[in-house]
């Protein structure tokens, strides 16, 4: 796990620790000192600790004019024991919403497990973005199954093309456009492009 780094090819476009509106503004990182673990395995020091012992994140892109953010996750999403959704919602998402973010792309290919509790924070997040949306891309099949069983898919859009997105080959704006086209098709308002 220590070799899995957050996606860094967009760093010329966005760096969360240099963004005054980011919850991670002025955070400092070491490339050599590994301090955080998941399941007793060290993780790369570029991942951001958000208060959960098992779920780490990285805001890999945010654009306040377009109102969207891309957040990559790693670890175990555990609402049952750690209340990870509460931490994510209160400490990260609320701050981004306060600055105009209403569209959230969650990259979940490194989320290893999901344990549910109630869905109240998901519902609150969904309600808070009104004209926006929350999309999860590339989550593992067993994680999606657990999330669906907990009715999280009512609030976060998963499935279909979102399960197999080659997002790294796009710019953030191309990824946004692609996701909006898929959402539009699902709602019957897409451009078909």
Complete DSSP assignment for 72-111: EEEEEEETTTS-HHHHIIIIIIHHHHHTT--EEEEEEEEE
Distances in Å between the alpha carbon of 172 and those of 60, 64, 79, 105, 148? 9, 13, 29, 10, 27
155 and 123 Cβ atoms separated by less than 8 Å: yes
Strand partners, 74: 56, 110
Tell me, what's the pLDDT at 3?
82
Please report the pLDDT score of residue 193 as a whole number. Answer: 42
Candidates 134, 153, 20, 21; CA nearest to 73 is 134
For the chain, domain boundaries: 16-187
pLDDT tens-digit readout, 83-126: 999 999 999 999 999 999 999 999 999 999 999 999 999 999 99
- Looking at the chain, the whole-number percentage of residues with pLDDT higher than 90 is 84
pLDDT (mean) for 52-75: 97
Q: What is the DSSP letter of 66?
A: T
CATH architecture of 16-187: 2-Layer Sandwich (3.30)
Query: In the numeric block, which tokens belong to residue 7?
Result: 């996606």
Q: Is the pLDDT reported for residue 68 higher than 70?
A: yes
Q: Comparing 126 with 186, which gets the higher pLDDT?
A: 126
pLDDT score, position 188 = 72
The rounded percent of the chain whose pLDDT value lies above 70 is: 97
Q: How far apart are CA 154 and CA 167, in angstroms?
A: 23
pLDDT interval class at 35 (50, 70, 90):
confident
């Amino acid at each position: 796990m220590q070799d899995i780094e957050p996606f860094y090819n967009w760093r010329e476009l966005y760096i969360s620790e240099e963004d005054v509106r980011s919850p991670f503004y002025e955070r400092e990182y070491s490339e050599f000192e590994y301090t955080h673990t998941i399941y007793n395995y060290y993780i790369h020091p570029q991942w951001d600790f958000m208060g959960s012992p098992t779920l780490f994140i990285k805001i890999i892109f945010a654009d306040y004019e377009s109102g969207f953010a891309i957040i990559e996750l790693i670890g175990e999403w555990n609402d049952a024991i750690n209340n990870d959704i509460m931490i994510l919602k209160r400490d990260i998402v609320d701050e981004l919403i306060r600055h105009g973010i209403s569209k959230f792309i969650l990259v979940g290919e490194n989320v290893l497990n999901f344990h549910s509790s109630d869905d109240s924070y998901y519902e609150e997040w969904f309600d808070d973005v009104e004209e926006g949306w929350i999309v999860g891309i590339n989550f593992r099949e067993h994680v999606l199954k657990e999330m669906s069983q907990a009715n999280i898919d009512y609030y976060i859009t998963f499935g279909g093309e979102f399960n197999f997105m080659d997002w790294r080959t796009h710019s953030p704006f191309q990824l946004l456009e692609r996701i909006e086209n898929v959402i539009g098709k699902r709602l019957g308002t897409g451009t078909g492009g």
